[in-house]
Amino acid sequence: MEVEAAKLIAAGLAVFPLLGVGIGLGNLFGNIVAAIGRNPSVAGEVKGTGLLYFALIEAVALFALLIAFIILFNF
């Protein structure tokens, strides 16, 4: 039973980066809204760049979940 407990603990630690992802996305979209509020004429550029950064930040979450699932189901 110790191996199963170790797998669950390791999977829980593997998804710890999701905390950073949540903080990063909140910071990103908060700054996008603030930038558009200050200068509405650059909304298109800011949205495009924001979507790129959203995809990069979200990739970290997907990698963390992938590692957690690998730990849970392959070992």
Domain boundaries, the chain: 1-17+40-75
CA 63 to CA 56: how far, in whole Å? 11
pLDDT at 68 over 90: yes
- Cα within 13 Å of Cα(1), Cβ side: 0
The C-alpha angle 23, 26, 27, rounded to 5 degrees, equals 85
The pLDDT assigned to 30 comes to 96
The pLDDT assigned to 67 comes to 94
Predicted structure pTM score:
0.81
Interior/surface letters 19-52, b for 16+ CB within 10 angstroms, e for the rest: eebeebeeebeeebeebbeeeeeeeeebeeebee
pLDDT digits (tens, 9 = 90+) for 2-61: 988 999 999 999 999 999 999 999 999 999 999 999 999 999 999 999 999 999 999 999
